[in-house]
Structure 1
Amino acid sequence: MTTTSGFLLDQVMVTRGETRLLDTITAHLPGGHCTAVVGPSGAGKSTLLRLLNRLDDPSSGRILLDGIPITELDVLDLRRRVGLVAQQPVLLTDRVAEDLRVGRSELGDHGIRELLQRVGLPVEFVQRRTSELSGGEAQRVCLARALAVEPEVLLLDEPTSALDGVSSGVIVEAARDHVAAGGTVVLVSHDLAVVRGIADTVLVLDHGHLIAHGHPDEIDYLEAGR
């Protein structure tokens, strides 16, 4: 792996009015690994995640993907390469099968069943109405929809927050499988057990500042169990 693989944040700042959400963040999020972003509520974690596929843009500084500034990439192509699964699931169609085809219209029933299995949902969900899904089920459908377009990078914002322990384990395995296949995962989570179990690199944010960055074993925040 070269230092240009993955994301590089270079002096990234985000301000909203008088509030500084991120303050001159410089960090490397290596390709082919899982990077976890942790910290207290309001630290800027979700803001950072949204920058990586240009749902937001920094007020100053720059972000590079594989050595290329993401502002030079077509934004739709970027979002196919870098898929975001938000904390609050948003389903776009009336049925699960249709939702999984949103970004990949040619996806067949066999592919849909495989995706459902990857996120721990029964194959019978192919014909389920999205309005009938629980919050945790909707979260997993959104993950399956993101996986359907075979992104290079998965951005996961609190992916286990609405799930029980068994379902959380399914999400962790899906993330591990993505990395094992050569993909990249950037994970925002308050679940420090999940972070310790999956992350190769950890960033700790506090009030918009990057206060620690390294291997999970080097991060006091994880040991404190906050």
Structure 2
Amino acid sequence: MAPGGSAWFCGAVRIPDGLLTRLAVQLGRPHGVAGRAVGRMLNRGNRAVITAAVAAATDGAGGGAFADIGFGGGAGLALLLERAGREGRVVGVEIARTMLDAARSRFRADIAAGRLELHEAPMDALPLPDDSLDALISTNTIYFIEDLAPAFGQLVRVVRPSGRVVLGVGDPVAMAKMPVTRHRFRLRPMAEVIAALDEAGLSLLEDRRVGNRDAFHLLICRRRA
């Protein structure tokens, strides 16, 4: 059926809007048994953009303090821990308790060693000190944020002057073709996202296309001093 109808047809399979809505809810905040499956799916499906985001944020450097905001299935945490090395530290912030519980189990040795700390919080209320990070990444998060200004303001606050913020965002034109994004997603033009980053105090260094058929924009930014 057309967008706005009661179902979506994929070949001969009819997918009701109610199922798409439940999937959208899980993508925004994975929870329960289904949420754990969604976390694994996100790790697989977003591997390319997460890997590229970590490389762009850390710029090949060992040590330092890095964060993944909205870490989902935890793939970014694992890569940041590798990049930080024994002398560095990593922070993970997530709103989904199911994802936090999974990360606490998976990374318990790193938590015990003081290399990783995890927090339950939204992007617009980060429980982190000012100027405490060398760089941070956040991928596939802004579709579920109502107001970008306070969220991006928090990213700027916790990153040190000249520190990097790397945002992974699905191309809005491509994402608009996915039926699930009609439910609870906020798809913004890239110009609007980039303008919000600039207003928050972040200078765009590069809008890099990554993923299958350039499906993602990797917005590589530096905090203005």
TM above 0.5, yes or no, is no
TM tier, smaller: 0.3 to 0.5
TM-score by length of 2: 0.36
* Greater fraction of residues in helix: 2
Structure number with the bigger relative contact order (C-alpha 8 A, sep ≥ 6) is: 1
